A and B are shown apart, each in its own frame.
Chain A
């Protein structure tokens, strides 16, 4: 079964750091670009970041550029999101998603992990 499982969410103070993980199974992870998308509960989807299949290129939303870093370990079938200098407005459910490369569609999504930034 094709699956993405996120972990690493939790409560963190403003200015703190957190690293999210997303572990893939059921497909050749190293062949696919991967994304992080976030959603404040009750609000819409907001794209965060993307990484190429070999990790050679990354893109970020302006709101997280310079604070968040996406990376991957293809040997572990895992993509990461290192989040530094966290702000209250980063509070959200964070989803990882697979990019169906030829079509650029986000075709598989994880269940999400909640990040709460609060003192």
Chain B
């Protein structure tokens, strides 16, 4: 079965750029999606189809996907961006989530 792998944690200083990666076999041939989840809240879609932002998502969130790796980039990271981030892809009509990355802003 298809798997997506994420690093468990990433740390970034306020104002700096955070990069969160997601790897999977030939992931670049699929679309990647990213969700943000803050403690006690439901997930929020932040990037879809590799790089597109839903309305209301700040421009500092961007995405890319090539080869075996998709990347979520947060430029000028703010304290409010501290959260768990999950990548997602589709495989054989099923949804696959990565294990999640905890972003710490310190």
Contacts and interface: CB of A to CB of B under 8 A. Distances in A.
Interface SS of A by simple majority: strand
Given A100-B48, A103-B49, A105-B33, A47 B43 contact: no
Interface SS of B by simple majority: strand
Given A44-B100, A45-B86, A103-B48, A111 B42 contact: yes
Contact of A45 (B31, B43, B94): B43
Sort chain B's interface into a size bin.
Answer: 20 to 34
Contacts of A61: 94
A111 B98 CA distance: 21
Interface of A: 35, 37, 44-47, 50, 59, 61-62, 95, 97, 100, 103-107, 109-112
Interface of B: 1, 31, 33, 35, 37, 42-45, 48-49, 52, 54, 86, 88, 90, 93-100
